[in-house]
Structure 1
C-alpha cells in the first residue's frame, strides 16, 4: 500500500468511523459463527448424529450473529450513557449488570423469532424454556459478549480519538485528569489538537458546531471531529462570547457558520451550515438563537 493509499484509507476511517466499525464487527462475527458452526457439525459427525441436522448449528450461529448486529446500535448507545471511569464504581457495575440482562433478553427473543420459522419449514419445533437453565445458559454467553463489546467499544473510541485528533485546552497536559472547563477561563481562540505523534492548533472560529457525547463534546470542523473532554454547558459558557449558541439539548452551532434556517409548524426546525451539514433546532432554543443572531 502506497503512502497516498494509506492516507486515503485513514481519511475514510476518520470520516466514517461507524460505517467501517460495523463492517469490521460484522466480518468478525460472521467468521466466528462459521468456525463455531463447523465445530458443532464435526461434533455431530463424531457422535454419528443424523446428517440431516447439519443446518442446526448453521442456523444457531447465524441467527445469533444477526440478532447481535441488530442490537449493536442500541448497545453502543447504552455504552455512551455510562462511559467507563475510575469513579462511582458501584453505580457503573449496577448499570452494566442491568445492561447485560437487557442485552441477553433481547438477544434471546430475536434469536427465537429468527429460528422458529426455519424449524417450522423443516417440520420441527424450536423449544426454549425462558425460566429454566436455557436462559442462564444463554445469559452466561451473552454476559461475556456484553463485556467483550464494552471493552472493544471503549478501545475503539480511544484509538479513534488518537487517529482523528483529540482537542485540549491550551496549557492542559492531560484531558483525562483535567476538570471540566472552568467558567473563569477566557474564551479560547484556539484549541490544541493532539493527533498520534503530532500537534496542531484549531481556530475556534473554524468550529462549525458542537455535539455532546457522553463525557466529551465533539468539535466539528471541516468534516473532522475533535473530541474535547468537557460538558456542552461548560463549553458553551466559554464560547458564547465568540458567537456560539445552543440549538438543542445536545447541540450548539457557530452562528457565523449558519447559511439558512427552516422552521416546521411544530416550532422545531433545521439549521443548514455553510458546509451543507444540517443541525437540529429545538423550539425551546429558537427565540434565544434569534436574539443571538442580532448581536453578531
Structure 2
C-alpha cells in the first residue's frame, strides 16, 4: 500500500493553490506583455532615431530579463508564504525582504547576462554589458520596484483570500474583569469573514492541519486559517479530545472512525466525513491509547 496518501490541503489548502495558480498566470501574462510592448516601442524608437539595432537584439534583451524573473517567481511566492508581513512582524521581516530584493536583482543580472551572451553568440555577435557596477545599480533600481510589487500583490491577494474564506483567531482576555471562558483552554474561536464576526465551537473542530505560518481548522467541511503553530495550538486544546497524528495534523478523536495500518508502521485515519488523513508511526500508538475510551469506538485494525 501507498504509505503516503494525499490528504486534503497538503502543504497548501485548495483555495490557496487556486490563488497561487491564478497569481502565477497573472505574472506570466504581465511580464510577457511588458516584454512584447518594450520590444515594439524600442524598435520604433530605434527606427525614429536612425539607429542600427537589430530587432533580435532588442527581443533578446527583453525576453531574457523576463525569463529569469519568471524563473525566480515561485521562490519569491514561497518566501512570501514562509515569512508573511503582518502588523506584528513587518518591522522584523522588512530588512529580510530588502536583502531578498538585492539577492533577486543579483540573480536576475547574472542570469540574463549569461543568457544574452549565449544567444548573442548563436547570432554570431558579442554581448557587452558594460560596467558591472553601473549595471548592478541600474538594474537594482528597476528590480527593487518589481520585487516589492510582487510582494505587495501576493500579500494583498492572500489577505483578501483569508478574509473571503474566513480567518480564525483566539479569544483574548478582556482589558477589565475576568474572562467569560478560559483563554488557556478556549471553548470557542472567533472567525472573521467578509467583515463579519462569528464564533466556532472548539468541539466542532474535526482536525487541524499545519500550513506554513497558519493552522487550518477543519469545521463542517470548511477550513479556517488560524495564525499560529500546530504545537502552540496543541497546548490550548484538551489532550483527551485532540491528539497529534502526524507532524502536520491534530485530530479530534470523536471524528476518527478507523485506523488503517500501513507498511513501515504508518497508518491512515478514516474520518467521519470520509476524508483520509495520514498517521505517522511516531504518533500511531499514542493515538490508539488515547482513543481507547472515546465514543464512537474506533474500528480496530
TM-score under structure 1 normalisation?
0.73
Report if aligned partners of 1:193, 1:199 keep a CA contact under 8 Å in 2: yes
Partner residue of 1:217 out of 215, 218, 228 = 215
SS at the partner of 1:124?
coil
Q: Going by fraction, where is helix more abundant, 1 or 2?
A: 1
What is the deviation of 1:234? 2.3
Q: Does the C-alpha gap of structure 1 residues 263 and 64 become closer, same or farther in structure 2, counting only changes over 3 Å?
A: farther
Q: Using CA pairs under 8 Å that are at least 6 residues apart, name the structure with larger relative contact order, 1 or 2.
A: 2
Deviations 1:23-62 (A, max 9, x none): 22222222222222222222222222336x2122322222
TM-score, length-normalised on structure 2? 0.72
Taking a change above 3 Å as real, the CA distance of residues 14 and 148 of structure 1, as seen in their structure-2 partners, is: closer
SS in structure 2 opposite 1:208? Answer: strand
Q: Which of residues 246, 250, 253 in structure 2 aligns to 1:252? A: 250
Q: Which has the larger radius of gyration?
A: 2
Shift of 1:128: 4.0
Cα distance change of structure 1 residues 160 and 127 upon mapping to structure 2, 3 Å threshold: same
Change (3 A) 1:68 1:253: farther
In 1, Cα distance between the equivalents of 2:252 and 2:186?
Answer: 14
Does the CA contact (< 8 Å) of 2:208 and 2:215 recur in 1? no
Once the two structures are TM-superposed, the CA of residue 160 in structure 1 deviates from its matched residue by 0.7
Gaps of 5+ in 1: 1-11, 174-181
In 2, Cα distance between equivalents of 1:280 and 1:222: 19
Larger deviation: 74-83 or 163-172? 163-172
Corresponding residue for residue 297 of structure 2: none
Q: Deviations over 1:233-288 (max 9, x none)?
A: 221122343633335555434443476556565x7x57465467665656655554
Does the Cα contact within 8 Å between 1:167 and 1:226 map onto a contact in 2? yes
Q: Which residue of 2 aligns with 1:178?
A: none
Find the counterpart in structure 1 of residue 51 from structure 2: 49
CA-atom RMSD, angstroms? 3.6
Q: C-alpha distance in 2, partners of 1:80/1:249?
A: 19
Aligned position for 1:235: 233
Distance 1:138 1:246, change over 3 A: farther
Aligned length: 272
Quote the residue 2:146 is aligned against: 145
Kindly tell me: are residues 229 and 93 of structure 1, through their superposed partners in 2, closer, same or farther at Cα, counting changes over 3 Å? closer
> 1:218 touches 1:226 (CA, 8 Å); kept in 2?
yes
Deviation at 1:119, TM superposition (A): 1.9
Q: Deviations over 1:145-190 (max 9, x none)?
A: 12111211211111111111112346899xxxxxxxx9843343x5
> Which residue number corresponds to residue 18 of structure 2?
16
2:35 equivalent in structure 1: 33
Following the alignment from structure 1 to structure 2, what is the Cα–Cα distance between the partners of residues 56 and 219?
53
Q: How far off its partner does 1:75 sit?
A: 0.9
